[in-house]
């Protein structure tokens, strides 16, 4: 005989967390993306400030972990290199009333750079990210991140913008300035 397990009935105002909330899903997704990159060559920790597209909101702290594959692929007949990356991080909530919600993000993308410049180079990054939920600046569970920066040795600085590309309103986005350190 097969048992059928049903979730508990919904009670108004009470939210059931069966261990499968958005944070658990983000972590599972990040781990699935991380699996093929076990031979990663670059681990980076990034931190900085982010500004919302809503002008009345102040800046907030952001932190990310990024892992770059050890395998770079030529693009445009070797004029550029493409490096697969995975990233996960948090945009802290603002400190006013309902703006205290943190946005947890995880996803994958590509870093594009010129080859032959070693650990000193300009780069462009684009990623598709899953988000833990709505904030005043990030709405929807699908976000896109684009950024550019400069790496010098183990350090890098980058500007990044994250938004949902107008898929769901409001679409204010977050624009951040990050400093990173590579291991």
Instruction: Tell me the CATH number at 115.
Output: 2.40.160.20
Cis upstream peptide for 170 (omega within 30°): yes
Q: With 60 as the cut, is the pLDDT of residue 92 above it?
A: yes
Q: What's the average model confidence in pLDDT over 8-30?
A: 50
Percent of the chain with pLDDT strictly greater than 90? 45
Give pLDDT tens digits for 151-173: 999 999 999 999 998 888 778 89
* DSSP three-state, residue 167: coil
Indicate the number of domains in the chain.
Answer: 1
Q: Domain residues for 51? A: 41-182
Residue 29 lies in a domain: no
Classified as helix, coil or strand, 161 is strand
In a domain, 177, yes or no: yes
Element (H, E) at 149: strand 142-152
Q: What is the tens place of the pLDDT at every residue in 100-132? A: 688 899 999 999 998 877 778 999 999 999 998
- At 70, the pLDDT band (50, 70, 90 cuts) reads confident
Tell me if 32 is assigned to some domain.
no
pLDDT of residue 139: 85
pLDDT, greater one: 24 or 82: 82
For residue 95, being part of any structural domain is answered with yes
In this predicted structure, what is the pLDDT of residue 11?
Answer: 43
H or E element that contains 178? strand 174-182
The pLDDT > 70 percentage for the chain reads: 74
Residue 36 lies inside a defined structural domain of this protein = no
Query: Residue 6 has what pLDDT?
Result: 44
Alpha-carbon distances, residue 134 vs 93, 156, 172 (angstroms):
11, 29, 11
Residue 88 domain-assigned? yes
Three-class DSSP category at 168: coil
pLDDT at 40 over 90: no
Query: What is the three-class DSSP state of 16?
Result: coil
Residue 22 has which token pair? 């958005």
Cα–Cα distance, 33 to 117 (Å, whole number): 28
Residue at 83 is within a domain: yes
Residues 79-88: what's their mean pLDDT?
A: 93
The DSSP-derived string for 81-136 is: EEEEEEEEEEEPPPSSGGGG--EEEEEEEEEEE-TT-TTEEEEEEEEEEEESS--S
Q: Are 176 and 49 in contact (CB under 8 A)?
A: yes
Decide if 9 is inside a domain: no
């Amino acid at each position: 005989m097969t048992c059928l397990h049903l979730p508990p009935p919904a009670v108004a105002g009470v939210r059931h967390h069966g261990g499968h909330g958005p944070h658990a899903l983000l972590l599972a997704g990040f781990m699935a993306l991380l699996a093929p990159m076990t031979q990663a060559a670059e681990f980076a920790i990034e931190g900085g400030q982010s500004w919302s597209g809503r002008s009345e909101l102040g800046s907030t702290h952001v932190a990310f972990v990024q892992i770059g594959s050890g395998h770079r692929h030529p693009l445009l007949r070797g004029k550029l290199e493409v490096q697969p990356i995975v990233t996960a991080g948090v945009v802290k909530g603002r400190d006013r009333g309902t703006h205290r919600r943190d946005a947890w993000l995880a996803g994958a993308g590509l870093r594009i750079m010129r080859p032959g410049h070693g650990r000193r180079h300009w780069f462009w990054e684009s990623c598709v990210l899953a988000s833990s939920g709505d904030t005043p600046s990030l709405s929807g569970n699908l976000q896109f991140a684009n950024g550019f920066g400069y790496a010098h040795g183990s350090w890098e600085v980058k500007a990044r913008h994250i938004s949902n590309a107008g898929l769901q309103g409001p679409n204010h986005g977050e624009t951040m300035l990050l400093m990173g350190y590579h291991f």
